[in-house]
Copies of this chain bind each other. A is one copy, B any other.
Amino acid sequence: MTTKANSLRPTNKDAALVDRANDVIANGMYGHQSVAGLPDGFPQFFARGEGSHLWDVDGNEFIDFMCSYGPIVLGHRHPSVDRAAAEQQALGDCFNGPTEKMVELAELLVGITPFADWAWFAKNGTDATVYALSLARAQTGKRHVLRASGAYHGAAPVWMKGAPGTLPEDSAYQLLYTYNDLVSVNDAVDKAGDDLAAIIVSAFRHDVFHDQELPTREFAQGLRDICDATGAVLILDDVRGGFRLDLGGSWERVGVKPDLSAYCKAIGNGYPISAVLGAEKLQEATGKVFDTGSYWYQAAPMAAAIATITQLQETGGIGTMERVGNRLRKGLAAQAESHGLEITLSGPVQLPFMTFAGDDGSARAIPRAALFCNEAVKRGVYILPHHNGFLSAAHTDEDIAKALEVTDVAFEAVKNEFGRA
Contacts and interface: CB of A to CB of B under 8 A. Distances in A.
A72 B102 CA distance: 20
Nearest to A48: B91
Copies of the chain in the assembly: 2
Given A118-B26, A120-B26, A107 B20 contact: yes
Interface string A15-52: 00100110111110111110100000001111111100
B167 A172 contact: yes
Nearest to A141: B164
Nearest to A298: B272
Given A24-B106, A27-B283, A123-B124, A96 B66 contact: yes
A89 interface: yes
A161 interface: no
Interface string A387-406: 00000000000000000000
A98 B30 CA distance: 11
Contacts of A135: 165
B94 A30 contact: no
A259 to B, nearest CB: 13
14 contacts: A17-B100, A24-B103, A25-B118, A30-B290, A33-B296, A68-B95, A76-B92, A125-B293, A143-B167, A156-B156, A165-B288, A167-B173, A169-B169, A271-B295
Interface of A: 17, 20-21, 23-27, 29-33, 35, 43-50, 54, 57, 64, 66, 68-72, 76-77, 82, 85-86, 89-100, 102-103, 106-107, 109-110, 117-120, 123-127, 130, 133-135, 137-138, 143, 155-158, 160, 163-167, 169-170, 172-173, 239, 264-265, 270-272, 274, 276, 278, 283, 285-298, 301, 382
